Amino acid sequence: MTAPPPRLALRLASRVRAGRLALAPIDLELPPGEILGLLGVNGAGKSTALMLMAGVLAPTSGRVELNGTDLSEHPEAARDHIGYLPELAPVWPELTVQEQVRAHARLRGLRASPRQVPEDDVLERLDLTSLRKRLCGVLSLGQRQRVGLACALIHNPGLLVLDEPGNGLDPVQASRLRDLLRERAANGATIVISTHLLNEVESQCTRAAILDKGSLLFDAPLLRAPDDWIVTLGDGDTERAQAVLAPLSGSITMLARSQLRVRMHAGVDVDRIAPALLSAGLSLRGLAPAATPLADTFARIVGGGNQARAA
């Protein structure tokens, strides 16, 4: 019996832009349910790679395949089965949030029926229900980003290609987005995320790839996120924070006036930390894995640099 094709495949796909090799030939396969985190410094070729994966750009050489179909020969497959979010979510400023999402649904070939267009569910999951009548032109960065995510998700695509999806989101919204993406992956969607935050990749991705100067230099599965996390508070009230986090953790160590090292109980999701602190009136400035082997790998591959960020 013939094995099914991968959800996404780059077959030695490359791209030349303005006479320069922006992306060297890449050979990559992603099955259903995979969440790939794409990392690289500025100018590494991440955006070019994402546009090839989303069918926005055609490769100069090689092929990009979706479920075994060459996107250059069948571009309609991208419209029907890919959800794409560029780094800055494009919106029509004169449309309301609801009109923007409905317009994208129609562009995807969906009819305006609740069965075909799960508008209410998508808006609720992205905390946009109260903004549905607001004009897109007056939205904040985070609100605009969530509208872009709604447009990428509205047709329930099998492949999601997201460039910096956490831009402008607060910790609670970022946590909800991670939950949503994990849920989509569990239901068979393949997801590609480009981010400048290494801990975002370690906390939600099943696989990581590193681009440098247009070449794919690393591609490997990731181990599960570490159990130890560094929690940085905005107000320095570590005593109250320890009391709030005690039910979620096996041990808590104070590292500094506003910083804790938290070891999570087995089976407790790290995404419960931010809502617990915020609901108790505490501010959260940062949440990152205590051990960052991916950061070490990234620094080694690209020759050093900031291990907390990989823009």
Q: What is the pLDDT of residue 305?
A: 45
Q: What is the pLDDT of residue 202?
A: 82
Distance linking the first and last C-alpha atoms of the chain: 43
Q: Which band of pLDDT confidence, cut at 50, 70 and 90, is reported for residue 222?
A: confident
Q: Which stretch of 62-71, 113-122, 175-184, 291-300 has the lowest confidence by average pLDDT?
A: 113-122
pLDDT exceeds cutoff 90 at 269: no
**DSSP code, position 36:** E
Cα–Cα distance, 294 to 291 (Å, whole number)? 9
- Give pLDDT tens digits for 83-137: 999 988 999 999 999 999 999 999 888 875 555 567 889 999 999 999 999 999 9
Q: Which band of pLDDT confidence, cut at 50, 70 and 90, is reported for residue 304?
A: low
Backbone angles phi, psi at 139, to 5 degrees: -75, 150
Query: Per-residue b/e over 43-73, b at no fewer than 16 CB within 10 Å?
Result: ebbbbbbbbbbbbbbebeebbbbbbebebee
Phi-psi region of 227 (alpha: psi -120 to 50; beta: other; left: phi over 0): alpha
Cα–Cα distance, 215 to 235 (Å, whole number)? 43
pLDDT exceeds cutoff 60 at 224: no
Domains of the chain: 8-221 (3.40.50.300), 228-290 (3.30.70)
State the DSSP string of 211-266: EETTEEEEEEE-PPPPSEEEEEESS--HHHHHHHHGGGEEEEEEEETTEEEEEEPT
Phi-psi region of 127 (alpha: psi -120 to 50; beta: other; left: phi over 0): left
Nearest partner of 66 among 58, 34, 74, judged by Cα: 74
pTM over 0.85: no
Q: Which band of pLDDT confidence, cut at 50, 70 and 90, is reported for residue 311?
A: very low
Q: Which band of pLDDT confidence, cut at 50, 70 and 90, is reported for residue 291?
A: low
**Contact yes or no for 275/173 (Cβ under 8 A):** no
Q: Which residues have C-beta within 8 Å of that of residue 281, sequence separation ≥ 6?
A: none
Cα–Cα distance, 301 to 217 (Å, whole number)? 7
Q: Which band of pLDDT confidence, cut at 50, 70 and 90, is reported for residue 175?
A: confident
Distance set, CA 203 to CA 133, 199, 228, 275 (Å) = 34, 6, 11, 16
Q: What is the pLDDT of residue 308?
A: 37
